[in-house]
């Protein structure tokens, strides 16, 4: 089956979704609201400000930061769900350690989740579901990744031995396609040129550069005091308060000089793909009625979330199918999204998704995205929530969407409403 035909089949599967009970513009005591969403800076793996900082320290720091910013007793938080992708053992033990270090009592439970690049957003949605069901009153959805620690040739993500029977199943072997090659598949299948990819990547850097100069990230970032080892082997204390992946002055022309990273005839390069990075984010949530009882201000609310499967060999198209699914659940149309935070895993898939959805690029990643900021896998989805809500407030807009593609062949999307 051709890629367009398979995507048509995927679209047909999304037709039966029901509208969400949570509505834009309507306040309900049972709404799941976000009291505070914060993130650490995002830094370059093995080179940036967190190169000598462990994932549990990053996570513990942002967990402490989000409750401090909200002025809430950590003991009131009943469950924490942490998205991460690379750590051994699913990061379960180190996540628990991070929460205890952050000052949460041992009565606050912790779990981890891995839905690849959407893990942070899945963690947020998972906590929202626990609150909606009455399982808990207050929870935190978070995400963390130290790609310095756990990503690269020395760290196995796939078992050495796989079942021959499973590998023989249609599309199963495609799940092993390296992400860079899935980008090449999207570019070749849908005619996305190298020039357009480089132009999009340059725009990401230009937007981040402008946003940093204007201090637009300050409201979403929680500075991190940590230690770093310099080139002479000396350990010193620093405060990391800014993202450091930006390459100032980047243009399509400079990016055009880079060699393809995955195929001699390809178009995906280190310059038009997301960066390998370290970072953490956390989103504190509860029912609106509980926030009112505690006298807490509300930053926004979750309207709806959706996932959609797509062919693994072109996993990057996922947002083009997850976004329509979540819009249907929310009873909205694409033109009602004021801001869209679309994870820039690769310029190829971001461009495909933007064009397939008919989005105005001015509304997509207005402060830049993962090509310039970086993509710490488990962190990104939770990071997007903080970025989205602060940007909606800055623009005095209301409705936004966070979305991303997912390795293995999926897309995820969630709609939020700002209540600034």
Q: List, by residue number, the catalytic residues.
A: 117, 375, 405
Q: Are 289 and 30 in contact (CB under 8 A)?
A: yes
Q: Are 285 and 33 in contact (CB under 8 A)?
A: yes
The first and second tokens of residue 332, run together, are: 């909205």
For the purposes of burial, counting CB atoms within 10 Å of the CB of 184, is it exposed (0-12), middle (13-18) or buried (19 or more)?
A: buried
Beta-bridge partner residues of 339: 400
Q: Are 149 and 276 in contact (CB under 8 A)?
A: no
| Alpha-carbon gap, residue 87 to 94, rounded angstroms | 9
SS3 (DSSP) at 410: strand
Instruction: State how far the alpha carbon of 327 is from the alpha carbons of 132, 285, 364, in Å.
Output: 20, 22, 16
Query: How do the residues of the chain divide into helix, strand and coil, expressed in percent and rounded to 5?
Result: 40, 20, 40
| Alpha-carbon gap, residue 67 to 101, rounded angstroms | 13
| DSSP-derived secondary structure letter, 152 | S
Closest by CA to 284, choosing from 39, 5, 105, is: 39
79-83 and 109-113 strand pairing: parallel
The first and second tokens of residue 228, run together, are: 């770093």
The region that residue 319 occupies, defined by phi over 0 for left and psi between -120 and 50 for alpha, beta otherwise, is alpha
**Neighbouring residues of 207: CB distance < 8 A, sequence distance ≥ 6:** 365, 366, 367, 368, 369, 372
CA 149 distance to own-chain centroid: 19
SS3 (DSSP) at 210: helix
């Amino acid at each position: 089956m051709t890629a367009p035909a398979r995507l048509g089949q995927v679209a047909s599967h999304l037709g039966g979704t029901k509208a969400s009970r949570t509505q834009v513009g309507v306040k309900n005591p049972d709404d799941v609201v976000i009291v505070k969403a914060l993130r650490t800076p995002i830094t370059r793996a093995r080179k940036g400000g967190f190169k000598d900082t462990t994932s549990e320290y990053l996570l513990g720091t942002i967990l402490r930061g989000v409750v401090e910013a909200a002025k809430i007793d950590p003991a009131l938080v009943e469950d924490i769900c942490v998205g991460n992708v690379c750590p051994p053992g699913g990061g379960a033990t180190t996540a628990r350690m991070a929460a205890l270090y952050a000052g949460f009592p041992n009565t606050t439970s912790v779990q981890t989740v891995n839905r690849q690049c959407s893990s942070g957003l899945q963690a947020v949605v998972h906590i929202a579901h626990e609150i909606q069901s009455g399982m808990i009153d207050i929870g935190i959805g978070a995400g963390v990744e130290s790609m310095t620690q756990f990503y690269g040739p020395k760290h196995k993500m796939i078992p050495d031995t796989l079942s021959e029977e499973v590998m023989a199943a249609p599309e199963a072997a495609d799940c092993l396609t390296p992400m860079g090659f899935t980008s090449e598949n999207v570019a070749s299948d849908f005619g996305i040129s190298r020039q357009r990819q480089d132009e999009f990547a340059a725009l990401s850097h230009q937007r981040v550069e402008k946003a940093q100069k204007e201090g637009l990230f300050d409201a979403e970032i929680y500075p991190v005091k940590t230690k770093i080892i310099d080139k002479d082997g000396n350990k010193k204390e620093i405060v990391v308060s800014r993202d450091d992946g930006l390459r100032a002055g980047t243009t399509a022309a400079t990016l055009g000089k880079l060699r393809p990273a995955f195929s001699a005839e390809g178009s995906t390069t280190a310059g038009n793909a997301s960066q390998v990075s370290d970072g953490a984010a956390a989103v504190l949530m509860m029912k609106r009625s509980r926030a009112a009882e505690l006298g807490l201000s509300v930053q926004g609310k979750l309207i709806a979330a959706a996932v959609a499967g797509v062919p693994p060999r072109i996993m990057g198209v996922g947002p083009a199918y997850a976004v329509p699914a979540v819009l249907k659940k929310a009873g909205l149309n694409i033109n009602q999204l004021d801001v869209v935070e679309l994870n820039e895993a690769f310029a190829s898939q971001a461009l495909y998704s933007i064009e397939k959805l008919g989005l105005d690029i001015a509304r997509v990643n207005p402060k830049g995205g993962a090509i310039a900021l970086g993509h710490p896998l488990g962190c990104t989805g939770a990071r997007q929530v903080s970025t989205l809500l602060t940007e909606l407030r800055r623009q005095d807009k209301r409705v936004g969407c966070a979305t991303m593609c997912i390795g293995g062949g999926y897309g995820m999307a969630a709609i939020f409403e700002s209540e600034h």
